[in-house]
Chains A and B, each alone.
Chain A
Amino acid sequence: MNTGGDGEIVHFDNVGLRYGTDSEVLSDVSFTLFPGRFYFLTGASGAGKTSLLRLLYLAQRPSRGMIRMFGTDAITVPRERLPGLRRRLGVVFQDFRLVPHLSAFDNIALPLRIAGVPERELAKPVADMLEWVGLAERMQAKPATLSGGEQQRVAIARAVIGRPDILIADEPTGNVDPDMAVKLLRLFEALNRLGTTVVVATHDLHLLQKVPESLIMRLDRGRLADPTGALRYPPRRPVAGRPS
């Protein structure tokens, strides 16, 4: 994996974000994401979680500051190199953002098709993925016919099928019952154990306790609380290796 300096994969330095001429929704945000770690992003509604995630999944450029991703300056990177960076990210959107006229199978297969994986090589991994999220029986269903929880699982399957370096999930358990929330969290943990860095935005504090080794990023009115400096200089711990 191509990481930045000292094994970091994402580094935010004094990042600020404002929309138009409004006041900043994010101010002086600085943190570093390391490979194989599990992060929770918390904060009250309107604290800036979604804005921070949009910066993370390269949907937005910051108004100031510096963002380095996989060793590349993500702000000045030429536009044609952005797809390459995005393909290393898996995103679970709060509103799922499934393509409405595509089946669950085709939605999940989309990242692989975009990446140019031949059709004959698609069926098996997509079927495995559907099995993994418990939707093998519903592979031909269109999003409109799926429940909120099922759509969420399709969105998660789509986010992880390309084995991203970072999985970014915005309130992934917001539309599912507590049992399913725990099950989804276990999926993320399983992925994390394979080496994927996971960033989960949530306002459900109970979830935080279920992953004891996770690091908490708490946003408060656009500012990131990091009293111990753990987000910039996290304590060392063994990082799970990736299967070759």
Chain B
Amino acid sequence: MKWHHSLTDAAARGWSGFANAGDTPLVSQSRLAGPMPWVIAIMVALTVIATAGGLALRNVAQVSTTELSGGITVQIVEARPEERARQASAALAQLQRSAGIAAPRLVPAAEIDALVEPWLGKGLTGEDAIPVPALIDARMTGKVSTSRLQRLQQKLREVAPAARVDAQAGWLEPAYDAIRSLQWLALALVVLLAFAMAAAVLLAARNALGANRNTIEIVHFLGGTDEQIANIFQRSVGADAVAGGIAGFAFATGAIWLLGQRFAALGAGMVEGGALVLTDWLVLVMVPLAATILAMGTARLSVMQALRKML
């Protein structure tokens, strides 16, 4: 007979194409696939959205910090318009003379009116107007500290007693705190979703292992190694994860784009700073890739663990 093969030699050549017996997968695909791609798709979509939210919040915080870093506002809180204007001019001149202060600018009345218009309405200028403080924007070079601000305020009060100095970053500190909390929340969500996905894959792999126990035993008795069997499951789960990952990423991308459109329509400066940039999208693309690796790794570990209990 010419059909003899040295199995030892063949084994030495290593694993090749064993996961598929010809054109037919060794482990019945229908038993392994099931709801797995959908579970992975949902997990990937949620993770991508959570990650995108976290990145957008980080962008908002970064843009705002850059814009507001060193920014100060001098308010002249004086009810009498003439005195307010005088003190504003004096304070502006003082700021222009001061070292460490850049680009002082008296905010025009029209700009202030536009700022307060949503709350106070139009047509409140003139004699009956509600007194609104005069505002001077400026930028402090170097590190802004409380003592520097106090010294500046003291200096300004010599020429404009109604002057009050505020660091712009200080106003937004509570908002930054909230953004930081939301970023942590997004990170926690990503981690939880990763755990949930690993658990789902673990259950699916164990379920598939049970459903294919007969085939696995046959392969074992025919001299199949744990690695060969684990590879079969790993590949199958990998195929599910790739399909689920693509679907989930596509859905999430659509959702992010739509949300982006809605937020862009708000036209608010701080929100606009949250737009995702190229590196953010690269991070998001990594989510389905990481999900695939996680799913394959989980499947491999769970199958190897289960196989070690067999002889």
Binding site for B on A (CB under 8 A): 57-61, 79-80, 82-84, 86-88, 91, 97-99, 101-103, 105-107, 109-119, 121, 124-126, 128-129, 132, 158, 161-164, 194, 243
Q: List 8 A-B contacts (CB under 8 A).
A: A83-B223, A86-B221, A99-B26, A99-B218, A111-B222, A114-B222, A115-B10, A129-B3
With A112-B5, A115-B5, A163-B7 known as contacts, the answer to whether A83 contacts B24 (CB < 8 A) is no
> B17 — which chain A residues lie within 8 A by C-beta?
113, 118-119
In the complex, the answer to whether B14 meets A87 with C-beta atoms within 8 Å is: no
For the complex, what is the distance from the CA of A113 to the CA of B13, rounded to whole Å?
A: 11
In the complex, the answer to whether A102 meets B223 with C-beta atoms within 8 Å is: no
For the complex, what is the distance from the CA of A98 to the CA of B15, rounded to whole Å?
A: 21
For the complex, what is the distance from the CA of A162 to the CA of B22, rounded to whole Å?
A: 17
Closest residue of chain B to A98, judged by CB?
A: B218
> B207 — which chain A residues lie within 8 A by C-beta?
none
Does B225 sit within 8 A of A, measured CB to CB?
Answer: yes
For the complex, what is the distance from the CA of A224 to the CA of B246, rounded to whole Å?
A: 61
> A118 — which chain B residues lie within 8 A by C-beta?
13, 16-17
> A115 — which chain B residues lie within 8 A by C-beta?
5, 7, 10-11, 223
Q: Which 5 residue pairs across A and B have the least CB separation, nearest first?
A: A125-B3, A87-B223, A115-B10, A163-B4, A86-B223
For the complex, what is the distance from the CA of A194 to the CA of B221, rounded to whole Å?
A: 23
In the complex, the answer to whether A114 meets B221 with C-beta atoms within 8 Å is: no
In the complex, the answer to whether A116 meets B11 with C-beta atoms within 8 Å is: yes
Closest residue of chain B to A107, judged by CB?
A: B21
Closest residue of chain A to B15, judged by CB?
A: A116
In the complex, the answer to whether B2 meets A128 with C-beta atoms within 8 Å is: yes
With A111-B7, A128-B2 known as contacts, the answer to whether A86 contacts B222 (CB < 8 A) is yes
With A116-B10, A116-B13 known as contacts, the answer to whether A101 contacts B22 (CB < 8 A) is no
Closest residue of chain B to A129, judged by CB?
A: B3
> A86 — which chain B residues lie within 8 A by C-beta?
220-223
A14 to chain B minimum Cβ distance, whole angstroms, is 21
> B18 — which chain A residues lie within 8 A by C-beta?
113-114, 116
In the complex, the answer to whether A125 meets B5 with C-beta atoms within 8 Å is: yes
In the complex, the answer to whether A194 meets B14 with C-beta atoms within 8 Å is: no
Does B224 sit within 8 A of A, measured CB to CB?
Answer: yes
7 A-B pairs besides A114-B18, A117-B5, A126-B3 with CB distance below 8 A are A79-B311, A88-B7, A103-B24, A114-B223, A115-B5, A115-B223, A116-B18
Closest residue of chain A to B214, judged by CB?
A: A97
In the complex, the answer to whether B21 meets A84 with C-beta atoms within 8 Å is: no
Does B28 sit within 8 A of A, measured CB to CB?
Answer: yes
Binding site for A on B (CB under 8 A): 1-8, 10-18, 21-22, 24, 26, 28, 214-215, 217-226, 228, 308, 311
In the complex, the answer to whether A59 meets B221 with C-beta atoms within 8 Å is: yes
For the complex, what is the distance from the CA of A105 to the CA of B107, rounded to whole Å?
A: 86
What number of residue pairs across chains A and B have CB atoms under 8 A from each other?
125
Select which of B21, B219, B221, B308 is within 8 A of A109 by beta carbon.
B21
With A59-B311, A103-B24 known as contacts, the answer to whether A114 contacts B5 (CB < 8 A) is no
> A116 — which chain B residues lie within 8 A by C-beta?
10-16, 18
> B11 — which chain A residues lie within 8 A by C-beta?
83-84, 87, 115-116
> A107 — which chain B residues lie within 8 A by C-beta?
21
With A97-B214, A117-B5, A119-B17 known as contacts, the answer to whether A61 contacts B222 (CB < 8 A) is no
For the complex, what is the distance from the CA of A132 to the CA of B225, rounded to whole Å?
A: 29
For the complex, what is the distance from the CA of A82 to the CA of B310, rounded to whole Å?
A: 12
For the complex, what is the distance from the CA of A180 to the CA of B51, rounded to whole Å?
A: 67
From A61, A82, A115, A194, name the one whose CB has the most chain B CB atoms within 10 angstroms. Answer: A115
Closest residue of chain A to B29, judged by CB?
A: A101
For the complex, what is the distance from the CA of A116 to the CA of B311, rounded to whole Å?
A: 22
In the complex, the answer to whether A109 meets B218 with C-beta atoms within 8 Å is: no
In the complex, the answer to whether B7 meets A83 with C-beta atoms within 8 Å is: no
> A109 — which chain B residues lie within 8 A by C-beta?
21-22
In the complex, the answer to whether A114 meets B1 with C-beta atoms within 8 Å is: no
A61 to chain B minimum Cβ distance, whole angstroms, is 6
Select which of B12, B28, B311 is within 8 A of A61 by beta carbon.
B311
For the complex, what is the distance from the CA of A141 to the CA of B15, rounded to whole Å?
A: 26
For the complex, what is the distance from the CA of A102 to the CA of B214, rounded to whole Å?
A: 13
With A80-B225, A86-B223, A99-B215 known as contacts, the answer to whether A128 contacts B3 (CB < 8 A) is yes
> A59 — which chain B residues lie within 8 A by C-beta?
221, 311
> A98 — which chain B residues lie within 8 A by C-beta?
218
In the complex, the answer to whether A82 meets B221 with C-beta atoms within 8 Å is: no
Closest residue of chain A to B308, judged by CB?
A: A79
> B308 — which chain A residues lie within 8 A by C-beta?
79
B132 to chain A minimum Cβ distance, whole angstroms, is 80
> B3 — which chain A residues lie within 8 A by C-beta?
124-126, 128-129, 161, 163
> B15 — which chain A residues lie within 8 A by C-beta?
116
